[in-house]
Amino acid sequence: MKNKKLLIALGAVCLVNFIAHLCFYPAMPDTVPMHWGFDGQVDGWGPKYMILVTALIPAVILLLIAVVPKIDPRSENFQKFGGIYRGFLAGIVLFMCGISWLSELTVYNVLPDGSSLVGVLVSGGIGILFILLGNYMPRIKQNYTFGCRTPWALADEHNWNRTQRMGGIT
């Protein structure tokens, strides 16, 4: 039941995110910033419709991460670390919803071109996700989808546990 409520809530967030992008879409220029260099300078441009494509990415990620446990050969183990998986799902979907707004924020000069704020936001967000994931990796049970999936770890549960512990530290 927890999974269903979370999926509905995250689906609603993705829908609101997409509708909000649609509201800003008519006022956007024909060419919009799509990629930023490490120094914060826009170094990639794309057509206007790419804003809607990036707005769909969180929903696609939500769909993929929700379906994967159902097709994993060791799907019963997902029940043992369901809280971690749900937390990862919520974190990555919300982070990608935030990232989808970088183009609009740059066009409206909320994120000025050349400031390193884009790099700080993206790198900081990914760093926080990695720190949280590394902290919880030792609790991930053996599966073919989520965690450090090396051949020796998938072959033996003891190796899996040690690999996840080392992967979390790394």
Per-domain residue ranges of the chain: 2-169
- For residue 43, pLDDT beyond 90: no
For residue 6, name the pLDDT band (cuts at 50, 70, 90). Answer: very high
For residue 17, name the pLDDT band (cuts at 50, 70, 90). Answer: very high
SS3 state at 35 = strand
pLDDT value at residue 161: 93
Give the CA angle between residues 159, 163, 168 to the nearest 5°. Answer: 155
Report whether 82 contacts 1 (CB < 8 A): no
Structure tokens at 58: 């969180």
Is 0.75 surpassed by the pTM of this model? yes
pLDDT value at residue 24: 92
Give the chain's mean pLDDT: 89
Structure tokens at 64: 């993929």
3-state helix, strand, coil in the chain (%, to 5): 70, 5, 25
> How do residues 51-73 score in pLDDT, each as one tens digit?
999 999 999 999 998 898 889 88
Report whether 81 contacts 139 (CB < 8 A): yes
Report whether 148 contacts 163 (CB < 8 A): yes
- For residue 114, pLDDT beyond 70: no
The length of the chain is 170
